């Protein structure tokens, strides 16, 4: 009977141990952000959408931890059951990634329509006076000052009657002298405001970093395929042992 390759066995163990450590880090940081008020304030997380993103990271970290554990134990203990579970879990993740990419390409018009609807809802909150609207306005004001932009779609007009609100000791979208010197401002209702809409800033950021996002996605897919191949090779070697 053929034996199990020690090189393959320990390579599989090291790979999955690192995989497990990454899962622990993601899960730990995500839980810390979810429960720590200081972390939420530092990262400017204060609405349901951002909390949903943190919850997704908690789920991702948990799944990575479980798969890493199965891969480690399956390799070191030469357990076919654990290796098979690892293979199935990794295969399902790869299938979900591919399916998500295909659906994203096929339903791109619907996704764009959904994005426009979300933007419209945010614009209404910028004009609103409810407690939820005030929280969004505070967060958006911080983003505007950091990104040197105003409004979301139509610039300062998106704020409606709230354009003269003072948030964080500064009026909404207000330009300083140095911003005017850099030609970042326009004149609106008797004062200078940032002329670029924040939607433009967000889209520019996504376009500039799209290659990085695609590279990460491709790299993850390659790693997942290698994990599938190595786990099945080790599974077959254990079966023939």
pLDDT digits (tens, 9 = 90+) for 148-164: 889 888 888 889 888 88
Report residue 241's pLDDT band, with 50, 70 and 90 as the boundaries. Answer: low
By the 10 Å C-beta count (0-12 exposed, 13-18 middle, 19+ buried), 83 is classed as buried
User: pLDDT of 42-52, one tens digit each?
Assistant: 555 655 556 66
Residues 6+ apart with CB under 8 A from 59: none
> What is the pLDDT of the chain when averaged over all its residues?
82
Residue 213 CB neighbours (<10 A): 10
Report the candidate in 21, 85, 111, 64 with the shortest Cα–Cα distance to residue 220: 64
pLDDT at 225 over 70: yes
| Run of H or E including 216 | helix 198-240
Name the 3-class secondary structure at 36. Answer: coil
Tell me the two tokens of residue 147.
């990104």
Residue of 161, 167, 96 lying closest to 137 (CA atoms): 167
Distance, in Å, from the CA atom of 56 to the CA atom of 54, rounded to the nearest integer, reads 5
Per-residue pLDDT tens digits for 23-38: 888 888 888 888 877 7
Contacts for 140-147: CB closer than 8 Å, 24+ residues apart = 140/198, 141/167, 141/168, 141/170, 141/172, 142/44, 142/168, 143/44, 143/198, 144/172, 144/173, 144/194, 144/198, 145/170, 147/198, 147/201
Q: Is the pLDDT of residue 74 over 50?
A: yes
How many other C-beta atoms lie within 10 A of the C-beta of residue 149?
23
| 8 Cβ contact partners less than 8 Å away, ≥ 6 residues apart | 230, 233, 234, 237
d(CA 203, CA 29): 28
Q: Distance of alpha carbon 3 from its chain centroid, rounded?
A: 43
Q: How many CB atoms lie within 10 A of CB 71?
A: 28
What are the C-alpha distances in Å from 52 to residues 33, 48, 141, 193, 203? 12, 6, 21, 32, 22
Has this prediction a pTM greater than 0.85? no
Cβ–Cβ contacts within 10 Å for residue 158, how many?
24
Cα 7 to Cα 25: distance, rounded to the nearest angstrom: 27
């Amino acid at each position: 009977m053929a034996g199990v390759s020690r090189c393959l066995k320990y390579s599989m163990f090291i790979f999955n141990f690192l995989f497990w450590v990454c899962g622990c880090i993601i899960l730990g940081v995500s839980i810390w952000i979810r429960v720590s008020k200081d972390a939420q304030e530092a990262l400017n997380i204060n609405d349901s959408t951002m909390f949903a993103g943190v919850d997704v990271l908690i789920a991702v970290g948990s799944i990575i931890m479980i798969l890493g554990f199965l891969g480690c134990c399956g390799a070191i203990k030469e357990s076919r059951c654990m290796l098979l579970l690892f293979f199935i879990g990794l295969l399902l993740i790869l299938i979900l990634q591919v399916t998500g990419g295909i659906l994203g390409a096929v339903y791109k018009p619907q996704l764009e329509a959904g994005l426009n609807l979300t933007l419209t809802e945010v614009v209404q909150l910028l004009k609103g006076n409810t407690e939820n609207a005030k929280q969004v306005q505070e967060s958006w004001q911080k983003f505007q000052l950091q990104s040197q932009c105003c409004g979301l779609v139509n610039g300062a007009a998106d704020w409606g009657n709230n354009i003269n609100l003072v948030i964080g000791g500064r009026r909404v979208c207000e330009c300083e002298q140095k911003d005017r010197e850099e030609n970042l401002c326009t004149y609106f209702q008797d004062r200078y405001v940032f002329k670029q809409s924040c939607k433009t800033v967000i889209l520019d950021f996504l376009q500039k970093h799209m290659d990085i996002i695609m590279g990460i996605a491709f790299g993850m897919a390659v790693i997942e395929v290698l994990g599938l191949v190595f786990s099945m090779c080790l599974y077959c070697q254990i079966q023939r042992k």
